[in-house]
Every structure is written in structure tokens, then in C-alpha cells.
Amino acid sequence: MEKKTAVYICTGCGIGDALDTEQLSKVATDEGSVPICRNHNYLCSQEGVEFIKNDIDNEGANTLIIAACSHRVMYDAFNFENCIVDRVNIREQVVWCQKPGDEDTQMMAEDYLRMAMAKVDNMELPEPYKPEEEISRDILVVGGGLTGMTSALDAAKAGHSVVLVEKESQLGGFQGRVQKVATFPYKGTEDNDLEALIQEVTQNEKIKVYTGAKVDKTVGGPGVFEATISQNGTTAEHRIGAIVLAAGWQPYDPKKLDEKLGFGASPNVITNVMFEESFNGGEISRPSDGKDVTNVAFLQCAGQRDPDHLPYCSSVCCVTALKQALQIKAQNQDANVFVVYKEMRTPGQSEDLYRKAQEEGITFIRCQSPEVKASGESLAVEAEDELLGEAVIMEDLDMVVLATGMVPVTAFGMDITQEEKEKKEEDEAKKGEEDLDDIPLDVIRRSDLLNLEYRQGPELPALRYDFPDSHFICFPYESRRTGIYPAGCVRRPMGIATAQEDAAGAVMKAIQCIELTSQGAAVHPRVGDMSFPEFAMQRCTQCKRCTVECPFGAINEDEEANPLPQITRCRRCGVCMGACPERIISFKNYSVQMIGAMIKAINVPEEDEEKPRILVLACENDAYAALDMAGINRMKYNAWIRVIPLRCLGSMNLVWIADSLSKGIDGIILLGCKHGDDYQCHFIKGSELADIRLSKVSETLNRLALESERVRFETVSIIDYDRLPAVLDEFAETIDEVGPNPFKGW
Ligand code: SF4
Ligand code: SF4
């Protein structure tokens, strides 16, 4: 498209009072030779928007630079179809954080306008990505338990065809083995009516059910997944739009528990799951001889909230124990039932169950470390009652029930085979890349659920405590594989009602994914982004950095190690762009060249002017937002700062550091999200990769004979806005002490 650029400068929100906007206009018209440059005192108003539209319709303006508020606000007002639009943030990040009417404030605004003009010169209008294959709207649900069946029904009700794959010979999962469920508000227990749900699923014309089946292979990406399903020696292929992984959980292995909990010492020490399974015909009896039970102890948190076993709470065991204890009481009102707990956790209406148990005479003993004493027929529990402050002995017990926890099935993979491991090591050796940040072997464990043909391994990465959830804070249901959404107990431990809600949540995400993919747009977190990475393959050196570093496994590779981007899997973070040493990956509206041009557009004053320049490369998800927040709160910071927002700090290409330093910029600070186990990076490891890349920058600094203090990495979250001005001011002081960049003026 032939560009016709128009610059609009808003003088509202205090901008006109703090800046010489006539002078600012001259930067556009005189320096930038922009044909249209206009001021308006309320640009985001209907009248202001019409003012811009008039130029689009009558003057042919199609490349719009709007110098006003942050791009994080008023995006609906300034959304003009078929136009390149860039926003220059002269409100939050200039006039609201700098001295009004000051020379340095004016210089800052002018630089931002120069940077925007350089930016749009290097931008093209993104075109939506359309795969060659037709987009499928079908949803694959892996797992036919409560969550899987609910997901399948929810998706079918929303009009999607569903393929439901269950490894067992019948639907139901663990919940299918539960006889009674508690009703809330608590009125007792009732028969588990999973059969009705199973019937609803099997009779729904939109749901194709495979039982005794597994997914042998999944290739492609959102909209164009191809799933191969095997059942009874036959295979079927399905084109799939998105996947819900509802593969469920398994109980923690009680044999791994501490000996003092007594599992294995007596057949009458069982787990909460064994209790459910043996509650046949609505009666529970003593496991060793089938006699009635009259003395029973429930020991809570057996191997849970315990760093040596499951460090987390499985969230349902207290309520389950109360239900089971009340079932014993219902069976035999005279039974002595004890619940030994660390803390009782009965959220919401399940508190009713707790009260009912107290009314029924169930005895609660608070103890962190009870001990089971089993010898022959005799079974007892010793507990130090924290509330009474004395030891309690529960003797002549018929049964002890241990509350063991829930482990996601993603934890039960077989490790990769020796053959696979050797091949991987051989590949690495061949590559000779010592510093390649490759995927650790444990992440590519095969749990045999999805069998993805992805360069980065066949399953969802098992993350903290082996759950595959991508990000606990911002993005529930997201996994590190685009278009695949974990739901139910594979995502985190949960009870019946929550699992049903979870199923609906994951299905909503799957539907969103299909809709956005069919529009050629990105899914979360850059929802609706039409740009995507393009690879100038003729210059690719097959270094594999992009395939290895893509946080979402969106790039496969062929046998010659050529990257094979799978665009519908791509989240448009730009990490591959930052990783590529050849700089051959770019987006229509985001490229190494574009940011390089923005850096070059900064006006760097001569040394004797004593106006150092500091480049801030800020993650636009948190750090840039924090800078806006500082402005909104009218917090002032150093005027030497020039900020460039990045999609993710992981998209930072080291050439920008070299470009900045050789241009004479005095200091560079990278503001990215926290990384590590409790990372907050929206693109998982982007900020970590940026930090790693930056650690290698000393070579550049040495080559240029520059001080290492000139380049810094800081982790910032959105709530750090109040400390951010101090961080920037302190960095500016350091740069002042270090002195001017000797490359100034070159
Ligand atoms: S690194 Fe980011 S932009 Fe590049 S292919 Fe992967 S998801 Fe897409
Ligand atoms: S990082 Fe760049 S040069 Fe390396 S394989 Fe990917 S595209 Fe090719």
C-alpha cells in the first residue's frame, strides 16, 4: 500500500498546556515531511474521531500517527480500518510524568514523534493468516470422566461437533465409581446419577464417543489439528479445531506415604479412594473380614501439604471425609467416628457438612502428625490433640481412612526412552551449540495423552507439581500449547461443581480459539492480533534458535533443521524474532528493522549539552503499563528516558543494544516480567530469555570499550508503578556517574 501519513496531536488532557504543540507539529512537517499534521483539543471525542476520518475519506490518509494518550486506552476510538495506526504516548509518558513547559519535556515529546514516524515507515498493514486447509470447528475432548463429558456436552450445546476419547471401556472416569454424592445446601447424600450424564453424551448426535481408545497422534495446530485415534485395532482420523484435555487425576500412591500412617501394615488401613470403591450397595464393612464397622478414624492430609509428598492441598479431601464419616453414621448411628485433621477446609456451602458432622457426634481432633499403630487384629491411632494439649489414643479401630491426594495424569508419563534420549543428545552434539537453551529432558516426558508431533515434545509440559496449566495468575485454562486447554483435575485438584465449571471455561477458550483462528487472528494474550511472523528463509542458517526458544512450540523443523512455523499455534510474542541471529523473522508491524529505526530516530544531544539519553525497552504487558500508571499518578521521573514498548522482552534482539550504544545512547534498561518458577511473563520465558541474551552483551560492551553499568535488566510488574520512577532515576544517576557514551556524535 502506498502510504500517506497524517499526524494528529491532541491538545487536551493537559498536553496543550505542557507542550509547545506548534513546535511539535514542525517535527512532523519540517523534519518528517508529513503531508498532513493537525491539532485537536479533544481527539478521542466523536468530533475528534470524525476529524481524523475526514482525512481518511477525503485526503487519502492511511498511515495515522496519533500523538495523545497511551495506546492502552481509547483503542476503540482510534481503531481505523485498513489504516496503519500508531499511537504516540505524550500524555501518560510525557506531560503527566514530566515538568510542564520544560525544554526536556518538549524534547521528549519530539523524540517520541520522530520514533513514531520511523516506526510507521517500517510498518505494513497486517493481513490475516489463512491456512491452506479449511478451518475445523470440531472440538476434541480427551478424557471421558465428569469434566470430559461436561466439556463435550457444553461444546455440543454451543453448536460444535465433538470427538470424545476415553481410554477406559466405558465413560465415567473416577466419578463413575462414586456411589453417593453430598447435596448442597446439605440435606444428606444421594445416588450419583452419572448414568444420566453418560446417556446424554452418548445420545447427543454432535458427540462422537470413542471408548477403550487413545489419541495416537496429533499434528497441525488450532483449526487444522489432525488427530489419529485408535480403538480396538482400528484407527480414525479427525480434523480438529481445538482440544480440551480433561484426562483427570490418579490418587497419590499410598505406598509412598510415611510408615507411621500405617498403609500396608493392616488391610484395614485404606485410602479415601478405596473407601469409595468398596462402598458397594451403599454399605461399608471392615476390609479384613467384612464385619460391620463401629470405630473408624479418618486421617486428613495424608501426604498432602507435605513437601516430601504432595506439597499442595487437594481441596476435596476434607469434604469427602465428612461425607464418608456421615455415611458411616447413617449406616450405624452408634459408630464412633474420628476425623484427625491439620485444618478443616470446607469452603462455601460445604461448611454445612461440617456442622452436620458435629451434630452427629463425629469427633474432630486437630493434630499435625498422627500415628497409626497396627499389630495383628489391633488397630489404633495416637494423636497429639493441639486443642486439648494432650495425647489422644483411638483404640480398637475397625478401619483407618487416609486422605491421600490427587495427582494429575500428566505426572504419570513414562520417561522418554533411552533411544529417544540418545538421539536427542546426538542431535545436540551435531549442532555444536553449547549455549542453546534447549528444552530439558524431563519436560518432554511422554504421558501418552496427546502424542503431539511437535518439535518441543509430545505432551503438554508438566509444570509446577506436574500440572500443565500455563500461568496461574492471568490465564487459567491456558497451556503452553496453543489451542489445547486443560480442564478439571488435570489442571488442578477440584471437586464436582468446580470441575463442571472448569469444563465450561475450557470449552469457552476452545471456542474462542477456533473463532479467532478462523479470522486469522491471534489468541490470548494478543487477542485479535492479525500480524504473524514471516521467515526470510533464504538467509536461514538452520541454527534452531527459533525452534528451541518459541515458548509455545509453534515452530517445527524439517530434517535439515529448517524452521517450519505453524502459524495457527503462534501467539505473536516475537520471541523467535529476538532469538534469530540472522534477523530474518519479522512481522508486518513489528520487526528488528522497525525498532532499530526507532532507536536511530532518537535525537542524541552532543556531549557538551549534558543531556544523556537512556533507552528503556519495556515489556508492554506489565512494565509499559506500570509506566502509564506512574504517569496517571503524576509521578515524575528522569527526562532522559525514551521508552520503546516490546511485545515481550523475549523479542529483544541484541542488535538493538549494539545499535543504541553505537549511536551514542548512554544507558539501556530492560524492564521485563519476573521469571523463574513463579514467572509472570505473559509469554512464559520471554523475559528470562532476554535476561540470558543480555548476559552475553558484555562481549559487545568490551568490543566498544564501554562500561557494563550502561546496560541493566530490571523485573517489574504492573503493581510496581510506584517504585518505577525511583528505579529509573537511580539508573539515570548511575549513567551520569559513568559519564557520556564516547560514541556520541559518531
Ligand atoms: S516465538 Fe512467539 S512469535 Fe515466534 S513462532 Fe513462537 S509464538 Fe510465534
Ligand atoms: S533462528 Fe533464524 S537463522 Fe536460526 S533457524 Fe530460526 S530462522 Fe533460521
Does residue 434 carry a pLDDT above 50?
Answer: no
Helices H / strands E in the chain, number of each: 19, 32
User: Atom 4 in ligand 2: which residue has the minimum CA distance?
Assistant: 543
Burial of 718 (0-12, 13-18, 19+ CB in 10 A): middle
Ligand 2 pocket: which of 584, 586, 651 to mutate (most atoms within 8 A of CB):
584
Ligand 1 pocket: which of 572, 586, 591, 653 to mutate (most atoms within 8 A of CB):
572
Domain 139-250+409-413+448-518 has CATH 3.50.50.60: yes
Facing residues of 137 across strands?
A: none
> Which part of the chain has CATH 3.50.50.60?
139-250+409-413+448-518, 253-403
Q: How far apart are CA 619 and CA 648, in angstroms?
A: 5
C-alpha cell at 458: 509430545
Ligand 2 atom nearest to CA at 562: 5
Ligand 1 pocket: which of 481, 555, 589 to mutate (most atoms within 8 A of CB):
555
Facing residues of 670 across strands?
A: 617, 713
Does residue 342 carry a pLDDT above 90?
Answer: yes
User: Which ligand does the CA of 572 lie closest to?
Assistant: 1
Alpha helices in 369-459 (DSSP H): 418-431
User: Atom 7 in ligand 2: which residue has the minimum CA distance?
Assistant: 540
Residue 435, pLDDT score: 39
Alpha helices in 432-560 (DSSP H): 496-518, 545-549
Ligand 2 atom nearest to CA at 535: 7
CB 547 within 8 A of CB 565: no
Q: How far apart are CA 600 and CA 230, in angstroms?
A: 57
Ligand 1 atom nearest to CA at 683: 2
Fold for 590-746, please state it.
Rossmann fold (3.40.50)
Residue 79, pLDDT score: 95
Does residue 438 carry a pLDDT above 60?
Answer: no
Q: Measured in angstroms, how far is the CA atom of residue 587 from the centroid of ligand 1?
A: 11
C-alpha cell at 250: 490418579
Q: Which residue ranges have their beta carbon within 6 Å of ligand 1? A: 533, 550, 552, 554-555, 565, 570-576
In this structure, the chain runs to a length of 746
Residues 6+ apart with CB under 8 A from 586: 533, 534, 536, 577, 592, 593, 594
Give me the phi and psi of 46, to 5 degrees please.
-60, -40
Q: Measured in angstroms, how far is the CA atom of residue 583 from the centroid of ligand 1?
A: 14
CB of 580 closer than 6 A to ligand 2?
yes
Residue 6, pLDDT score: 98
pLDDT in tens, 106-153: 999 999 999 999 999 999 999 999 999 999 999 999 999 999 999 999
C-alpha cell at 370: 498422627
* Strands of the 234-240 sheet, one edge to the other: 213-219, 225-231, 234-240
Residue 674, pLDDT score: 87
CB of 535 closer than 6 A to ligand 2?
yes
- Residue 606, SS3 per DSSP: coil
> Which part of the chain has CATH 3.40.50?
1-125, 590-746
CB 66 within 8 A of CB 87: yes
Alpha helices in 185-267 (DSSP H): 194-202
pLDDT in tens, 156-198: 999 999 999 999 999 999 988 888 888 888 888 888 889 999 9
Strands 234-240 and 225-231: antiparallel
Q: Measured in angstroms, how far is the CA atom of residue 694 from the centroid of ligand 1?
A: 20
User: Atom 1 in ligand 2: which residue has the minimum CA distance?
Assistant: 580
User: Atom 2 in ligand 2: which residue has the minimum CA distance?
Assistant: 580
Q: Would you state the torsion angle of the CA atoms of residues 198, 199, 200, 205, taken in this order, to the nearest 10 degrees?
A: 110
> What is the rounded average pLDDT for all residues in the chain?
92
Strands 189-191 and 180-182: antiparallel
User: Which ligand does the CA of 547 lie closest to?
Assistant: 2
pLDDT in tens, 364-386: 999 999 999 999 889 999 999 99
Residue 443, pLDDT score: 41
Fold for 534-586, please state it.
Alpha-Beta Plaits (3.30.70)
- Overall CATH class of domain 1-125: alpha beta
Ligand 1 atom nearest to CA at 650: 1
Q: How far apart are CA 172 and CA 602, in angstroms?
A: 63
Average pLDDT of the segment spanning 275-303? 90
Amino acid letter, residue 107: M
For cell 453430598, the residue is 182
Which of these CATH numbers, 3.10.20.30, 1.10.10.10, 3.40.50.720, 3.50.50.60, describes 253-403? 3.50.50.60
For cell 500443565, the residue is 468
Q: How confident is the model at residue 445 (pLDDT cuts 50, 70, 90)?
A: very low
